[in-house]
Structure 1
Amino acid sequence: MSNDPRVIIDENPMNWRQYVVVFLMIALNALDGFDVLSSAFAAPGITQEWGVSRDALGIVLSAELVGMGFGSIFLGGVADKMGRKPTILLCLSVMAVGMYMAHAATGVTILTIWRFLTGIGIGGMLAATNAVTAESSSKKGRSISMALYVIGYPLGAVIGGFVAQGWLLVEYDWRAIFLFGAIVTAALIPIVWLLIPETPAYYAALRPEGAVAKINRSLRAYAKTEISALPILAENAVKPKVTAILSNPRLRPVTLLLAFGYMFHTITFYYILKWAVQIVADYPPGYAPAMAASVLTYANIGGAAGGFLFGFLLSKWDIKWPTIAMLLLGSAAVMTFGLGRDSLEGWRWATVATGFFTNAAIVGYYAAFARGFPAYARATGTGFVLGVGRLGAAGSPIIAGYLFTLLGNDELLAVSTIMALGSIVSAFLLWRLPIRDADADLAEAPAGKPAG
């Protein structure tokens, strides 16, 4: 019987408690999806109340994305030092405060600050919940658990969209969206506290004082066999560092091409997610905020469908060319979005198409992260790539807002065409990427030393 708790979790069937933990991670990712896009749902109301220009609104819409970058870097590290569970509780608290204070904001500047703070919590949450999902699932159930976890993000936006357009924006105003998010976020804190144990993998990696007892407490929660001692560490065990993904001559091109490819795609991806509601509200004949918000719901329905279908097909196909196809089709869908529509139903189906293809490409990139980095540098490489990607995500609403100001609010096709170029550049960089099985190719070579 193995003394490695990671092997015990990997090789044994999942019990009900593990399924509960995975379900809660999906729910937390869905909450992140709603919280990130809450400012987009609220954008028309904010514009009407305060008369915000499009370039200024772009900064508001980018605030939580910038915060997510900081949260991923700083709070992601906290999850490796303090633990996954304490980090999730900390992030939920930060998010609840940020959402509540955003609903009480009295101007653009203070709203931007609170959205930035909310983004910090969301960024840390993404790092921690991703780890918990992987480390609480068996080897057999991990793929489906991770797929459902990823889909939780657009599903949260879909559910939140129905709540926003069908209730909050009908009965109240834009502030109710942030207040609703604060209440749901706060309600999840005691649930996480009671139902989620710290992962055995975290204790096995950190080896704190009393590690065996702490690991056994988590294993008992999962109804797994307890251990008597931790396995002895190999003297030459590799400790991943960010320098490994940049100093290793085999990993460097993979890292840079993935990082900048993902970054350029997020420019296109977040243009629709952050601007579609405002565009539809302003486009003649114009629609009420609650009606305009429905297009974002449809975009995320398309995103969930595209992500699920493409994730399933990737188990049968290779990664590179299907993802390039999704990038190019997503770019074309964004360009056609810029042609405008004469009905709300037309706008909805246009955003379904953009969501389907652009989110499918996101799933392709996540698969490439897993393939492109060896085990000893996978978390470091993925974190670096996502961190660079946040630059594109944060810059996208600002770039679009500046383009509308520069070219004019009527130049939807021109702005959409320019924003669609991000996915085309991404497709070119992915075409240059030598996707191979990094674990086999590098044979788990030590950091900085190429295999063979």
Structure 2
Amino acid sequence: MPYTTGSKVISGGEAPGHLTYHSPISPSLPGGDPRDALLKAPLSTYQRVAIAVTVMLCALDGFDVLAVTYAAPGFLTEWGLNSGQLGIALSMGLVGMALGSFLLAPLADRIGRRRMIFVCLAIMAGGMAASALAGSLGALAFWRIITGVGIGAMICVINPLAAEYANERRRDLAIALMAVGYPIGGTVGGILSAHLLELYDWRAIFWLGAGLALAMVPLVIRWIPEPVGYLIENPGPDALEKVNRFLRRCHLPETDRLPAPSPRQRKAPLAEIFSPAMRRQTLHLTTIYALYLMTVYFFLSWTPQLVADLGFSAAVSATVAVTRDTAGIVGGVALGWAAHYLGLKRLALAVLAGMGLTLILFGRLPADLDALRITAALAGLCLYGGMISLYAVIARTFPTHVRASGTGFVIGVGRVTSAMAPLLGGFLFDIGLDRGGVTTLLACGALVAAGLMLAYRVRPIGAE
């Protein structure tokens, strides 16, 4: 029989003098699965702060992606670039993001989520600083690819982190909050960049990005532990100590032993997500995500121009895009909260179909600014609601030991289609289609994605 002395537990089955430390504020639950305890217990302050840090990391991603667009007028003038050359600079970050999703993110399932975040922050800080020092288009393009690798891997790591830190009741909300960090980072970054450009040249924007990445390091050290699920599936010599440290911080009972990892064949994570047991769901979900992003990135890229084509000024057109993003941020959080009550699949079906329908309507509206803003707000609600829903579905689909790899593959394919969407829109306009025709064709991606979601089995939390 074990007995306690203060905050120490001495087990009669252990060698004399061997002490195992447990929390003085809670008893030990021998053999209990800590994952079950974390799923059922209320969120602790520690978990809430950890989720908030993932929001900040996603906001950093959002700023780093758009930093080159804020800096573009400056280096365009300084280097005398034409529009085609500018397009190269703008697209290289997306190339890097796809590479990061495919190649770097799967390593998080081997070396750990926490370590991979440090790798991503180092790449992003170095890439942003080197971009600030670039003296030519070629150098800037190269460093945007490098920065994009870190950005692309980061989002694939923090998505499972937000899910794994949350309990069952608030997991979908945690993913929603993490996801809206992206547009928040882009919006706040744009405001900060505007002030910087009043005082300095375009290089200050990249220096800001490098500084923000370094500023995140102490927050990650303090508030981002390795998730309990990962430690159980990838047990190391100190896994039990790390799990109990996490449980203590969450004010939960400790455990005296960890459950055995799930039985599985030892193979590369990317190979496992295409094993016979997972191949169908991987391809099904990837197709849904890729088609939806085709619609999303067309609308994100072309909203101002679609409004300007009706005769409005560039400034007025930009306000429609701001309305879209503001409604998306606020509505996205609300939908993430509602997912627990409405059901994730129902919510995903509604917002994916809603995105397609509102885009068709937006493309057929007359030059009525109020109608355009209202429709853009509805579209933004569906747009970000769809992204949040799909992030939550991804987190539920892949088991812990391949979650970063599965997330990386799905998002990586989506990066490819998102890069194609603006180009496809331009091509359709060039061959003579009008606003209504182009928006209707590009809306089909979201509508087909909704149809495919109808046949997709969304697993309950904890069943993955």
Please say whether Structure 1 and Structure 2 have the same fold, judged by a TM-score greater than 0.5.
yes
Per the shorter chain, which TM-score range? 0.7 to 0.9
Q: Does 1:302 align with 2:351?
A: no
Deviates more, 1:88-97 or 1:361-370: 361-370
SS state of the match for residue 13, structure 1? coil
Match of 1:62 among 79, 91, 99: 91
Identify which of 38, 41, 62 aligns with 2:70. 41
* Letter of the 2:60 counterpart: L
1:23, distance to aligned residue in structure 2 (A)? 1.0
Look up the match of 2:418.
Answer: 393
- Residue 88 of structure 1: aligned partner: 117
C-alpha change, 1:74 and 1:223, in structure 2 (3 Å) is farther
How far off is 1:237 after superposition? 4.7
Match of 1:182 in 2: 210
Q: Secondary structure of the residue that 2:342 maps to in structure 1?
A: coil
What is the distance in 1 between the residues matched to 2:130 and 2:86?
A: 18
Letter in 1 for 2:134: A
Asked if residue 427 in structure 1 is aligned to residue 447 in structure 2, the reply is yes
Q: Distance in 1 between matches of 2:82 and 2:214?
A: 33
CA contact (8 A) 1:37 1:273 kept: no
Give the direction of change, closer, same or farther, for the CA distance of 1:247–1:214 in structure 2 (3 Å limit). Answer: closer
8 Å contact kept, 1:157–1:300: no
- What residue identity is the alignment partner of 1:185? A
User: 2: distance between equivalents of 1:349 and 1:435?
Assistant: 31
Q: Please report how far the alpha carbon of residue 27 of structure 1 lies from its aligned counterpart in structure 2 after TM superposition.
A: 0.9
For the structure 1 residues 141 and 305, does the alpha-carbon distance in structure 2 shift closer, same or farther, using more than 3 Å as the test?
A: closer
The amino acid across from 2:43 in the alignment is M
Counterpart AA for 1:75: L
Matches within 5 A, 1:230-245: 230-233=258-261, 236-237=263-264, 242=270
> 2:160 is aligned with what amino acid?
A
Matched residue, 2:104? 75
Tell me which moved more, 172-181 or 373-382: 373-382
Indicate whether 1:269 and 2:299 are aligned.
no
Q: 1:99 aligns with which of 105, 128, 142?
A: 128
Mapped to 1, the partners of 2:60 and 2:311 lie a distance apart of: 33
SS in structure 2 of the partner of residue 194 of structure 1? helix
Q: Is the 8 A contact 1:41 1:277 kept in 2?
A: no
Q: Aligned letter for 2:442?
A: G
Which stretch of structure 1 is more off in the superposition, 321-330 or 363-372?
A: 363-372
Q: For the residues of structure 2 that align with 1:134 and 1:246, how far apart are their CA atoms?
A: 22
Q: Shift of the alpha carbon at 1:29?
A: 0.9
CA distance in 2, matches of 1:77, 1:323: 29
Instruction: Go from structure 1 to structure 2 and tell me whether the alpha carbon gap of 1:31 and 1:293 turns closer, same or farther (over 3 Å shift).
Output: farther
Structure 2 residues not aligned, in runs of 5+: 1-28
Cα separation, 2, equivalents of 1:336 and 1:46: 37
Does structure 1 retain, via aligned residues, the 8 Å contact 2:109–2:404? no
Question: How far apart, CA to CA, are the structure 1 residues paired with 2:60 and 2:184?
Answer: 9
Aligned-pair CA distance for 1:375:
8.0
How far off is 1:73 after superposition?
2.7
Q: Which moved more, 1:295-304 or 1:179-188?
A: 295-304
The CA RMSD over aligned residues, in Å, is: 3.9
1:366 partner letter = Y
TM, length-normalised to structure 1: 0.79
- Contact 1:93/1:189 (8 A) holds in 2: no
- Comparing 108-117 and 19-28, the one that deviates more: 108-117
What corresponds to 1:9 in structure 2?
A: 38
Distance 1:50 1:117 in 2: 21
Deviation at 1:416, TM superposition (A): 8.7
Equivalent residue letter for 1:189: V
CA drift at 1:319: 4.2
Give 1:432 deviation, angstroms. 4.1
Q: CA deviation at 1:350?
A: 7.3
State whether residues 92 and 189 of structure 1, in contact with CA within 8 Å, keep that contact through their aligned partners in structure 2. Answer: yes
Deviation for aligned residue 1:49: 4.1
Q: 2-side partners of 1:175 and 1:350: how far apart?
A: 37
One-letter amino acid matched to 2:119: L
Q: Percent identity?
A: 34
Match for residue 147 of structure 1?
A: 176
Equivalent residue runs for 1:186-225 within 5 Å: 186-225=214-253
Q: Distance in 2 between matches of 1:101 and 1:397?
A: 28
Deviations 1:217-275 (A, max 9, x none): 333343432222222346x55779555655548x6554434323322332332234456
Measured in 1, the distance between the counterparts of 2:83 and 2:368 equals 22
Counterpart selection for 1:322 from 330, 339, 350: 350
CA–CA distance in structure 2, aligned partners of residues 137 and 81 of structure 1:
22
State the SS of the aligned residue for 1:207: coil
Matched, 1:363 2:388: yes
- Distance in 1 separating the partners of 2:37 and 2:168: 10
Q: Return the alpha-carbon distance in structure 1 between the equivalents of residues 80 and 318 of structure 2.
A: 19
Query: Which amino acid is 1:180 matched to?
Result: L
Higher alpha-carbon Rg: 2
Contact (CA 8 Å) 1:253, 1:433: kept in 2 or not? no
Partner of residue 285, structure 2: 258
Partner of 2:11: none
Q: Which residue of 1 is the match for residue 17 of structure 2?
A: none
Q: In the TM superposition, what whole-angstrom CA distance separates every residue of 1:375-397 from its partner, at most 9, and x where no partner exists? A: 89766554432221111123335
Aligned partners of 2:123 and 2:150 also within 8 Å: yes
Count of matched residue positions in the alignment of Structure 1 and Structure 2: 429
Establish whether residue 227 from structure 1 lines up as the match of residue 265 from structure 2: no
Judge conservation of contact 2:32–2:255 (CA < 8 Å) in 1.
yes
From the superposition, tell whether residues 90 and 330 of structure 1 become closer, same or farther in structure 2 (CA, over 3 Å).
farther
The question of whether the paired residues in 1 share the 8 Å contact of 2:108 and 2:116 is answered with yes
SS of match in other structure, 1:20: helix
Code of the aligned partner of 1:262: Y
CA contact (8 A) 2:356 2:445 kept: no
Q: Aligned partners of 2:306 and 2:82: how far apart in 1? A: 13
Instruction: Check whether the contact 1:200–1:218 (CA below 8 A) recurs between aligned residues.
Output: yes
* Counterpart contact for 1:298–1:352, Cα < 8 Å: yes
Preserved contact between residue 91 and residue 124 of structure 1 (Cα < 8 Å): yes
Question: Which of the residues 133, 138, 149 maps onto 2:167?
Answer: 138
Q: Return the offset for 1:95.
A: 0.8
